[in-house]
Structures are given as structure tokens and as C-alpha cells.
Chain A
Amino acid sequence: MARVRWLNTPDVFRPFEELQQLRKEMDRLFESVMGRRSWPITGRVFPLVNITEDDNAYYIRAELPGVKPEDIEISVEADSVTIGGERKPEDVGKEVSYHRKEREFGKFRRVITLKAGFNADAVEAVFKNGILTIKLPKAEEAKPRQIQVKTE
């Protein structure tokens, strides 16, 4: 779509286009300043997850420091994975006075839906140094297929 410049044609002032242009500029500016922090600002539910893939599997990872492995519940359905659990505070006894209390505790639950297929029976989960890794082996149809070019 051709954009009509306001300065050239003041009679066709289009405030929304101008605003959109401004928004794009702002986004670009933020991205250049914030750099790596350009994650989607969609609904943020604890725990935050990173999803990656290779040819054979998807990997869902979440930072869950201080959560005991037995307090993490993972359930798998045809196209979704649910991470639930509780982060319980450590028992510190009664005779303490707090200087700082920044760490948060409580229950959590998050459902992650994946578009492409995975083999729900072969899902594995590992918890190490406070990082949960769920490995979802790809279903055959989700794997990339290599096509050999034949010479005749």
C-alpha cells in the first residue's frame, strides 16, 4: 500500500497512519535499546518457558529454583503440556527476623499448546539445578523430511 506523506499533501491528513508509523519507530527504538529483551509481551504466566526444537524433539524449559522435583506435576495431552506445582518456602524456624524477602512462593499452573505433533507416550522430564526440561519427541509427521534428488 502506498503511503501518502502528510507534508506533501496536507489535505489528506491521516492521523492513524501517522500514529502507526510512530509506533513502528518506537518499537524499533525499544528493540535497539533493550536488545535481547524482545520477548513477546503476551500473557505472562509463571513459569516463563523457553521452547526450542531440533530435528527429533521439542524442548520446553522453565526456571523453577527451590521447587522440589516431587512438587512438580507434568501432564501431557494430545497437543498440550501442563506444568503445575507449588513452590514451598523453606522451614527457617520461628526465631528469625527478615532483612529481605524478595523470593516468592505459592502454587503455579501453566498450559502450553504446541501446534505440531509429538509423541505423548515418550515425553521425558528432567530437573537439574532448578531448571525443568521437558523433552517431547516429535511425531513422525512433524519431523523434517530429506528428499534425495536422483540423477538419471
Chain B
Amino acid sequence: MTLKHVLSGATLTLAAALPAAAQDVTFDEPIRFVTPYPPGGSHSLHAGIITTAAEPHFGQSLISVIRAGGGGAVGATEVANSPADGTVLLFGDPTINSLRPQVEELAYGTDSFVPVARINYSPAIFVARSDAPFATMEEMVAYAEGNPGDLVYSSDNLNGWTYTIFELLKARTGAEMTGVEYGGGGPAIARLLGGETMAYAGDISVVGEHIASGDLVALCVTDTARIEALPDVLTCPEAGYDVVFQFWRGVLAPAGTPDEVVAALSDGFETLMADEGFLRLIGRIGSSIQFADHEAFAELLSAEIDAMGAVAELVGATQ
């Protein structure tokens, strides 16, 4: 059972509950858009572009607030405890919104937020050094099985996205591999290029250049469809491994935010996502938009939360 199956299987969890009456909602004060990670990552980059272009679509400015700490838990907790009136929003992702609350003891839960809008998502790409003793997914798993624990791979953060992808692969194949958490995509890829580790799974914005330059070999894409930029690279299911996990970026409000406010915010993001200037900037950072409004996002998220619960059990990481 992949995440995608779960996503298509689970329906109508929240969708029926939300009658949209967004027209009359106006915002009297600037909206704080909280990024729970340090400046410089892809999250804060997206947040910078969103808040730069947002004002005409909300009738109010969005202020980018960077609230890093605890791998996202500090910012998320703060938003969860903020007034539920739509003036404080969290720029969330699967790590802080569906995985970690289920496997760690945090001061917020998966139900502390209501989904407002999904901005986009991207799969990870499994990569190996070009001089590694394997060049396909199958060879990599075979190597790991033949040399238990010798395959050392880079990952970003405990219970983060790249971390979970490898946990998923290990759980599916039973192969033993050794992961090292380097605290971020930058050092993780640096140590891979330096030869300290052999493999990694990361966003195309992190690994793409090094695949193009020939330093890294792409093994498979953690999605059910291939990606445009690398049309020859198999999806992981195509390669025979049921590892599908997309990293989404989305906006969430504190639980209890009135439905009409959520709907109005969702509408604001929908028109923003069609803004030409906004799309041009998003294109420049090599990203794209896969908008989902608050209803669609709520469905996707609740299915993902269930799936992550299952993953956590599979990996044996439940509290």
C-alpha cells in the first residue's frame, strides 16, 4: 500500500463539512506567514516569494515571519497556540504536520491545524555517487543486502523527509543501511559529493545540478509519475520498490479558525497562484505550483496523516 493508494482511497473525510461563504471576509490586520525553518532553505525561499506577491490577493499584506527551532516544532507550536482568526498562518510540510506529531512527543498534534491551501509538492530522487558500486535501485538494494550496514547514506534530519524515505525503503526491502543525519540538505549533499557517504534522496533543487554534471547518478523518483526534468529516470514503483513520498508545501491555520475565514484565505491563495509575476518568480527558483484548495488539501492531508501513521508503525517508530 503506497501513500498514493491511500490518498486516492481515502475520500470525503472533511470535504463535506465546509460550506464556503468567503465573499464577506476581510482582514483588518496584516497576516503573519510563519516559516518554521531557518532562512535560506527552500521553505523560506517560497515564503519570500509568496509574501512578496500576496498583498493584492488578500487586500492585506502577508508578513513573512521566520520562526526556526526544533526542526520546525517551535514555529508550528507557536502557530497552533495563536488566535484562530486567520491572522497567523503556518507554512507547513509533511514532516511537521503529519509525521513528527505521530512519532515524537510535541506540544501540538496533527489536529492542531486546519488546512488552508497546498502550494505545491515534489518527489525526492534517490541518487548515488557515480563511483559507487551500484548504479540502479536494484543494485543498490542488492549491495545493501550483501554488505549489511556498509551502505552509508546522507540524510537531513531525524524524522525529516529524506530520512523517512530511506526508512521506508529499508522497511520495504529489509536491507540494512546506515544513515547519517547532517542537519540539512547542504551538508548532506556535501558529504555525499566528498565521498563520506554513498547515497542520498533529495529534492531536484538539491541534487539536479549534480546529476547533470555527472557526479551523481539518479536511481529513481519517489512518485507515481516520472518528472519532466529527468524523463529517463524511473519512478520507484517502476523500479520495483514501493517507495512513494511527496514533499508538499502548504498553508495551515490554527484549529478552530472559522470556515469562512479558511475559505477566504484559500481563495486568496488560489488567485495568487495564478498571478503571472508570482509564477515567474516561482519558475526562477526551479519550482512549480500544484495548487489544492482548502477542501482538496484537507482530504489529501488526512489521508497522508493516516499513511504516515502506518509508515511509523512499519518502521517501528511509534511512541
The answer to whether A and B assemble together is no
